[in-house]
């Protein structure tokens, strides 16, 4: 799968980056491509491009707060989960998404 997404937590520090790291490592282990934008106290990092979004099979938003820019994903398959789900079992989440989307 080609995955893009956003990671964001209430403080915008620890869980944001842990969620991103867990998603990236799980996706790589499962041979998926992934690009995760972070939104936190220092602003947006690794911002997704229109090209990244257009090429994606699915968008994952791992967030405990309202994220900015969700309108960019209109027409895309969107999965929204709290950061603790991604941190606890990222591979299971990706496998479930892949099975449900038939990819």
Beta bridge partners of 2: 33
- Six-digit token string for 6: 């956003």
Q: Give the CA angle between residues 16, 22, 23 to the nearest 5°.
A: 90
Closest CA to 86 of 63, 53, 103, 59: 63
Q: Are 48 and 39 in contact (CB under 8 A)?
A: no
Q: Are 63 and 80 in contact (CB under 8 A)?
A: yes
- Of the residues 8, 9, 23, 93, which is catalytic? 9
Active site residue 9: yes
Catalytic positions, written as ranges: 9
């Amino acid at each position: 799968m080609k995955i893009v997404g956003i990671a964001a937590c209430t403080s915008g520090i620890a869980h944001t980056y842990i969620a991103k790291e867990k998603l990236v490592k799980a996706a790589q282990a499962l041979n998926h491509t992934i690009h995760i934008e972070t939104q936190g106290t220092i602003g947006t990092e690794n911002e997704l491009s229109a090209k990244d979004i257009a090429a994606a099979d699915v968008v994952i938003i791992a967030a405990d707060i309202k994220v900015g820019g969700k309108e960019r994903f209109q027409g895309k398959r969107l999965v929204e989960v709290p950061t603790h789900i991604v941190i606890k079992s990222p591979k299971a989440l990706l496998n479930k998404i892949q099975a449900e989307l038939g990819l």
